[in-house]
Structure 1
Amino acid sequence: MTLTLVIGNKNYSSWSMRPWLALKAGGIAFEEMFVPLYTGRADKQRILDITPAGKVPALIDGDVTVWDSLAIIEYLAERFPEAGLWPADPASRARARSVSAEMHAGFAALRNECGMNLHRPIGAKALSDNARADVARIQELWTDCRQRFAEAGPFLFGAFSAADAMYGPVVHRFRTYAIAVTPPVRAYMDAMMSCPAFRQWTDEGLAETLVIERLEAG
């Protein structure tokens, strides 16, 4: 039975992007179900009919429905171990999970002040102290991962992993808002932006024409 991933607008929905990247980069077959965000009660009801959380993304696997990006990725890692979504080495896997959980639970200031919007013209904006602290911490995380695993490949843990899927939207944020980064961070961003799954999501997001005014500020 084919998996179905319920997602929002690719231009805006950072949380939808994360499991989508994991599926695509992991070579896992799936179908998309697109539900436009913030367009009316009917669309909200479509999401509620799938999951009582009332939010995307959600993964449907037969009788199983999984919601929340990180929960979906964990489910996929168990369901498709051959996809290698987590590093094989236990210590590396533990670090990758910690890095991913930090993204999942943190960096609220950056996310609030620099919303994902692929159509936004590239340009810097003033950031709060908290958002600048988020930027610094993310760069610290990425740099540490690259120093540890550079010989294994260009991504955070060498080969593409769930950690890269979790931070994919941040790559867009750093680029869109012209955030100054160090050379190692720039090299990692370049690797992500060259990843076929990342490029596909970006191209399809840029092709969208639906504008959500509430998400256009800034």
Structure 2
Amino acid sequence: MASPANKKPIMVLYSGVDCIYSHGTRVVLFEKEVECEVRYTDNDDYLEDVAEYNPYGEVPTLVDRELIIYGSRVINEYLDDRLPHPPLMPVDPVNRARARLMIMRFNRDLYKAFTLIKKGSARSEKARKIIRDQLTAMSVFLEQQEYMLGEDFSLADAWIAPLLWRLPAIGVELPAQAKGTLDYADRVFARQSFQTSLTEPEKDIRGIEY
């Protein structure tokens, strides 16, 4: 939700235009329908702001009044705590831990493989196989439920969706056995929050006007 031009925004998110980590945070923002100004770092002035606010000079970076937060997982959980409706994490500690473990595995396995491919690593083909095999394996339980944690959209879905969207850009095509995952991806892509989150470069990945 954009802030009125004559009103100073309460929250500002500094985001890359095609950054996979920023993309997930944008999905969370639009799920929450929070009043937040998204500033894209293809603008040099905003890039300088990030260098000032974030010691790592990375996006996403969130400024909420006097608080500055960086790291997509930290930002996403902060937004869910700060803006509890709709909730994007389970209430009970056991399932919250399971959700965090799932997100950690996405980051360590799938996002690590994605980064290797984007960097043109000699291990790119192995990385593609890791992504293809793991997403295909997920099909078994995704055929039985709407989203990663069950029937409700969660931070885990916001985390995996940007990777699924970028599969054509990294040369990963899922096999027919991954129908559950492919159908799941279509459900997530159809959500208003995901459609609104897409930047022009991200729309160009699939050449589809969502």
TM-score normalized by the length of structure 1: 0.74
1:202-217 to structure 2, matched below 5 A, reads 202=198, 204-205=200-201
Matching of residue 45 in structure 1 with residue 48 in structure 2: yes
Tell me the CA shift for residue 89 of structure 1.
4.0
- The one-character-per-residue Cα deviations of 1:36-73 (angstroms, maximum 9, x if unpaired) are 18xx7x66433211211101110111110000100101
Matching of residue 170 in structure 1 with residue 170 in structure 2: no
Residue of structure 2 equivalent to 1:63: 66
1:74-153 to structure 2, matched below 5 A, reads 74-107=77-110, 108-114=112-118, 127-140=124-137, 142-143=138-139, 145-146=141-142, 150=145
Find runs of 4+ consecutive structure 1 residues off by over 4 angstroms: none
Query: What secondary structure sits across from 2:14 in the alignment?
Result: strand
Matching of residue 32 in structure 1 with residue 30 in structure 2: no
Amino-acid identity (%): 21
Matching of residue 195 in structure 1 with residue 191 in structure 2: yes
Q: How many residues matched?
A: 188
Tell me the CA shift for residue 127 of structure 1.
5.0
| Contact 1:171 1:192 survives alignment (8 Å) | no
Cα distance in structure 2, aligned partners of 1:106 and 1:201: 24
- The one-character-per-residue Cα deviations of 1:175-215 (angstroms, maximum 9, x if unpaired) are 4435124110111111111111212233644578xxxxxxx
- The one-character-per-residue Cα deviations of 1:119-175 (angstroms, maximum 9, x if unpaired) are xxxxxxx951233123312433x3365366x1xxx2212221110111121111224
Instruction: Report 1 or 2 for greater relative contact order, CA contacts < 8 Å, sequence distance ≥ 6.
Output: 1
| Contact 2:11 2:35 survives alignment (8 Å) | yes
Residue of structure 2 equivalent to 1:180: 174
Unaligned runs of 5+ in 1: 116-125, 209-218
TM-score normalized by the length of structure 2: 0.77
